[in-house]
Structure 1
């Protein structure tokens, strides 16, 4: 699961639907049976792609996720990049590219801050299926 994906998912428990605490899901580094494992996966750098996806990113959620994973390099406010080829934008775009597209979560878990439900990630695949008692 890529970090980019984590920026688009929220808790699927029906009771959490109206709570602002159901997004973002928090990476839980305290799950002893499934410790968080990250990997780097090389992806061709495309500044245009990052600039196109940037308006769709929930910046506060991305900051939360990045800091939970130990990355404190991002600016506090979402950058407004008009020219992806400008030299002054290159490092920021490369940092975003590395975080969003090259950081792969191999295993671990995500937790909803509202209800506490834990979503496990195994072999880079998050499990969003809920037990029957949480679907209703």
Structure 2
């Protein structure tokens, strides 16, 4: 599971939809693997406006990455993004993968297990949306 993915997911439990504590999900017992990917600064520059920066900073610190700037970098025509910041974001977002571990909701404490790089977001029956029962009279 690439770190970029985690910036777009929140807890799937219905009760968590109305609280800000359901995002970001927090890593526990994460096993990280670095997989080299071709560096494309244009991709990072284009995806940056869609990144929830505060959530990314939380995730980065939880995983041991401390090189992110405090404020979300923004490029202008006069001042393009710092190449080192682009490289650091590339390493974190695209080259870092969590192969084993857990994602935990800060609100309900539900645990989403990660196995072989795939997070299991299926909810147990008691947390899933209730089904409408149809009965015949």
Whether the TM-score (by the shorter chain) exceeds 0.5 is yes
Alignment TM-score, normalising by the size of structure 1:
0.90
The corresponding residue for 1:71 is 65
Gaps of 5+ in 2: 130-137
Task: Give the corresponding residue for 2:23.
Answer: 23
Name the structure 2 match of 1:62.
56
Three-state SS of the structure 1 residue aligned to 2:82 is: helix
Task: Give 1:82 shift.
Answer: 3.1
Paired residues, number: 128
Post-superposition shift, 1:89?
A: 1.3
TM-score, reference length from structure 2: 0.90
What runs of 5+ residues in structure 1 fail to find an aligned partner?
30-35
Aligned to 2:132: none
Match of 1:96 in 2: 89
Alpha-carbon separation, structure 2, partners of 1:79 and 1:37: 28
1:1-136, aligned counterparts within 5 Å?
Answer: 1-29=1-29, 36-82=30-76, 86=80, 89-136=82-129
Which protein has the larger Cα radius of gyration, Structure 1 or Structure 2? 2
Per-residue deviation, residues 45-102 of structure 1 (Å, max 9, x unmatched): 000000000000000000000000011110111000236x95x611110000000000
Aligned residues: CA RMSD: 1.4
Runs of 4+ in 1 over 2 A off after TM superposition: none
Kindly state the Cα deviation for residue 11 of structure 1 after the two structures are TM-superposed. 0.1
CA distance in 1, matches of 2:8, 2:108: 18
CA drift of 1:134 comes to 0.2
